[in-house]
Structure 1
Amino acid sequence: MLDTYARRLIDPPLNAAGRRVARLGITPDQVTLAGLALGLVAAATIAAGAPHWALVPLLASRLLDGLDGAVARATRKSDYGGYLDIACDFLFYGAVPLAFVLADPEANAVPGAFLLASFYFNGTSFLGYAILAERHGMETAAQGSKSLYYSNGLLEGTETILFFVLLCLLPESFPPLAWTFGALCYATAALRLLAARAIFAERTRRR
């Protein structure tokens, strides 16, 4: 829900930084993998019981996640680069809740499982929508120039990052926060399914 507004703020400085990074000969895929590495470092730090310290690599990871696209736009975008980016994003999104479960299994196991299941459902609805959108020739630039169709929803990347930051600041509140965010993820996926039914059924009838 906030990604469109966030892109308006971060795209200009990211694009400028992306051009500078591209001139150094660094590839978008290298930036993507560096971002994933930092994200996994953040997850490991959370699992070790130091969520406040995890904020630095976590935020640096998400900065690189935005920078890889800017480097690609400054050089040459590739289908594989977009694929690698989304795969790394999903691994990062799963690693952080898992880290909180590992840090305190007794308190966090059940809400963590609920949250991870909601991510699974939401991610599937997102990627399935992108496949259908590609088949119907749909395009969007609301979340910036992407290698696949990005359908909007109640919860997007910006909200997820803010949620992770809140978890790191308030680790003792993981259970209620996980239940709440997970429920909103289920709602996001359900609304996406309803939207897909309306949009793609109409497009199919027009063929």
Structure 2
Amino acid sequence: MLDTHARKYVNPFIECGANFFIKLKLSANNVTSLALILGIVSSVLLYFDKNIFAVIVLWISGYLDAIDGAIARKTNSSSSFGTVLDITFDRIVEISIILVIGMKFIDVRFNLIILLASILISMVIFLTVGAVSEKSGIKSFYYQAGIAERSEGFIMFSLMMLINNNLNIIINLFSFIILITAIQRISEAKKILK
């Protein structure tokens, strides 16, 4: 929801970052890879109880994840492979954080399994609709908006990193939001794919 509706407010910051990395001669895929590395570093920091630093690095990773698409558009280098890298690396970052939380907090492992299942269901719908739909918008595929997009995920992961005493509630809320998004996406798919 935030990615779709707040983009116009943060877009100047994203464009500025894209221009900076273009001047450094980094490609969109280079920045995507850097976002992946920082996302994994965030999970390592979380493992070693550097939670505030983990959250900061996670958000820098997310910022780079927004910049890579702007770089691709500005340099006319958008590619299907870049899209695959972007989506895959996003999931690797999410999984790395979930794995670390599961290693550190045994009592919420079942909640994390439900969260992973929710992410899987929502992503299957998202990617399938994107694959069978006409390309539309600034993304290189049809992008289905929803309540839980990347920014909401980062907010929930940040809460999971910072508030350990209510971890099960945060995880369950995150799963619920993702499942609502999956329902939104399947309902939209029924309308647009007739």
TM-score range relative to shorter protein: over 0.9
Residue 138 of structure 1: how far off its partner (Å): 4.6
Q: What is residue 171 of structure 1 aligned with on the other side?
A: 164
Residue 187 of structure 1: how far off its partner (Å): 1.9
Does 2:143 correspond to 1:150? yes
Contact 2:135–2:141 (8 Å) recurs in 1: no
What are structure 1's unaligned runs of at least 5 residues? 202-207
Partner Cα separation in structure 2 for residue 99 and residue 9 of structure 1? 33
Structure 1's 129 and 103: CA in aligned 2 closer, same or farther, altered over 3 A? same
Q: What is residue 85 of structure 2 aligned with on the other side?
A: 84
- Count matched residues: 193
Which string of whole-angstrom CA distances, capped at 9 and with x for unpartnered residues, describes residues 147-185 of structure 1?
221101121111111111222221222111111110221
Contact 1:38–1:57 (8 Å) recurs in 2: yes
Q: What is residue 20 of structure 2 aligned with on the other side?
A: 20
TM-score w.r.t. the length of structure 2 is 0.92
Q: What is residue 115 of structure 2 aligned with on the other side?
A: 115
Partner Cα separation in structure 2 for residue 81 and residue 183 of structure 1? 30
Segments of 4+ in structure 1 off by > 4 A?
none
What root-mean-square deviation, in Å, do the aligned CA atoms of Structure 1 and Structure 2 show? 1.5
Contact 1:15–1:74 (8 Å) recurs in 2: no
Name whichever of 62-71 and 43-52 sits farther off: 43-52
Percent of aligned pairs sharing the same letter: 28
Partner Cα separation in structure 2 for residue 9 and residue 58 of structure 1? 20
TM-score w.r.t. the length of structure 1 is 0.87
What are structure 2's unaligned runs of at least 5 residues? none
